């Protein structure tokens, strides 16, 4: 998606060869017109998949998922992190290792909001090692719902998550694929 | 806002006389059409205030803020909770006590995304004791920006936050004000 790539080039912040911060428009400040275009693009890609629910994980996935959900006319469910005393005990849950925070957290979804009748589109902001996405896939599996696909804003194609999960048969569509970052320049895969 | 009140009556879950859970449409699963209507209503209420930015706090404020921001055509900034090693050091920050979690956390906003040129609408899902809102007001104060108003989805009017902050001169608009919960029935203030 050209608009997103341009945003990454213009406003992304390379703070480490492996880390491109997009706090300016996606992870802290939110560019609403961009998010809306991203939602529209996910709809174009998955509109024929019979999606009944969009699953994401707090926090940075929520905004993207909401704008996509507007086009699909389906609800969003966001997985919660950590032990949430308000969510009740009847949950799907999984452990996710975060490289960013160098620790493991629990992701949970109430059984009320995901069932074997659902056809799920998973949406998240980043795909790198694939830990969060693997956790969300595990949650959907526990629910008996069907994963129809995965929509990612920014994939770091130089990390193994995308390849591994595609090899396992999951349809993953990333709006921008970063192939490498070298000499302060971001190179996209296509 | 009648639509929201009806949702609370039909789908809210009274798990304690003081706690109405709205996980079905606002805090875990998200009803996109409702959120869009809420965003539209906040725009109607604050459209003449010259808003340049919407400030909220992760996670449940993000979706509401995004739909409002679409109508205002301004960015959202969401305050992050805890020590976020990715956000950088140049931040506004404050401590917020959470009654739900019975603990204190740090809320931070990068100085890049809020300045004394901004006219801010603060949006959040709940107003009860007003701790989170007081924290967000403190962050705006640190930035030198002007708070033009506060938009709340659900106010628990039987708790003191709303009254105290209105008494201090802040304009607060709540889309549904719960006056009391008795015998399993939710009573609204108007």
A contacts of B33 (beta carbons < 8 Å): 73
- Whether B88 shows a pLDDT value over 80: the answer reads no
> CB–CB of B173/B45 below 8 Å?
yes
Residue A75 is predicted with a pLDDT of: 98
Taking phi first (over 0 means left), then psi (-120 to 50 degrees means alpha), and beta for anything else, what does residue A144 get? left
Cβ contact, residue pair B28, A85, below 8 Å: no
Half-sphere exposure at residue A2, Cβ-oriented, CA atoms within 13 angstroms: 0
* pLDDT band at residue B89 using 50, 70 and 90 as cut-offs: confident
- A18-50 pLDDT, tens digit per residue, is 889 999 999 999 999 999 999 999 999 999 999
A contacts of B86 (beta carbons < 8 Å): 15, 19, 21, 23, 27, 100
Better-scored residue on pLDDT, B79 or A100: B79
Q: CB B78: neighbour CB atoms within 10 A?
A: 27
- A122-166 pLDDT, tens digit per residue, is 999 999 999 999 999 999 999 999 999 999 999 999 999 999 999
Taking domain B2-188, whether its CATH number is 3.40.50.2020 is answered by yes
| Cα gap A25→A85, rounded to integer Å | 31
Q: CB A119: neighbour CB atoms within 10 A?
A: 16
Tokens of A101: 């925070």
Q: Model pTM?
A: 0.96
- Whether B86 shows a pLDDT value over 70: the answer reads no
Distance to chain A for B70, nearest Cα, Å: 6
Better-scored residue on pLDDT, B88 or A73: A73
Beta bridge pairs of residue A106: A95
Task: Name the interface residues of B facing A (CB cutoff 8 Å).
Answer: 15, 19, 21, 23-24, 27-33, 35-36, 58-59, 62-63, 65-67, 69-70, 73-78, 80, 85-87, 100-101, 109-110, 112-113
Residue B85 is predicted with a pLDDT of: 57
- Mean pLDDT is highest, among A99-113, B10-24, B78-92, B120-134, for B120-134
Interval B159-172 mean pLDDT: 97
Cβ contact, residue pair A85, B77, below 8 Å: no
Give the nearest chain B residue to A29 (CA atoms): B77
> CB–CB of A97/A131 below 8 Å?
yes
Residue B18 is predicted with a pLDDT of: 82
Candidates A16, A66, A67, partner chain B, best to mutate (most B CBs within 10 A): A66
| Cα gap A181→A183, rounded to integer Å | 7
Residue B28 is predicted with a pLDDT of: 97
- What ipTM was assigned to the predicted interfaces of this complex? 0.96
| Cα gap B132→B153, rounded to integer Å | 14
* pLDDT band at residue A77 using 50, 70 and 90 as cut-offs: very high
- Pairing mode of beta strands B53-57, B76-81: parallel
Tell me the three state secondary structure of residue B171.
coil
Residue A84 is predicted with a pLDDT of: 62
- Whether A85 shows a pLDDT value over 60: the answer reads no
The domains of chain A are located at 2-188
| Cα gap B9→B153, rounded to integer Å | 14
Residue B16 is predicted with a pLDDT of: 85
Q: Smallest Cβ distance to A32: which of B35, B76, B109?
A: B76
């Amino acid at each position: 998606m050209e608009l997103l790539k341009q945003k990454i080039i213009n406003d992304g912040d390379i703070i480490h060869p492996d880390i491109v911060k997009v706090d300016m428009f996606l992870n802290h400040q939110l560019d609403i017109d961009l998010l809306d275009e991203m939602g529209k693009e996910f709809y174009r890609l998955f509109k024929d998949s019979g999606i009944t629910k969009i699953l994401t994980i707090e926090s940075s996935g929520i905004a993207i998922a909401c704008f996509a959900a507007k086009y699909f006319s389906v609800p969003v469910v966001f997985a919660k992190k950590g032990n949430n005393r308000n969510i009740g005990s009847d949950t799907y849950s999984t452990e996710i290792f975060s490289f960013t925070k160098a620790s493991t957290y629990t992701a949970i979804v109430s059984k009320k909001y995901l069932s074997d009748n659902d056809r799920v589109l998973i949406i998240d902001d980043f795909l790198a090692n694939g830990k969060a996405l693997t956790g969300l896939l595990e949650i959907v599996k526990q629910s008996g719902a069907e994963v129809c696909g995965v929509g990612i804003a920014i994939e770091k194609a130089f990390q193994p998550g995308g390849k591994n999960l595609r090899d396992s048969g999951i349809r993953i569509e990333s709006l921008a694929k970063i192939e490498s970052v070298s000499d302060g320049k971001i190179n996209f895969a296509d």
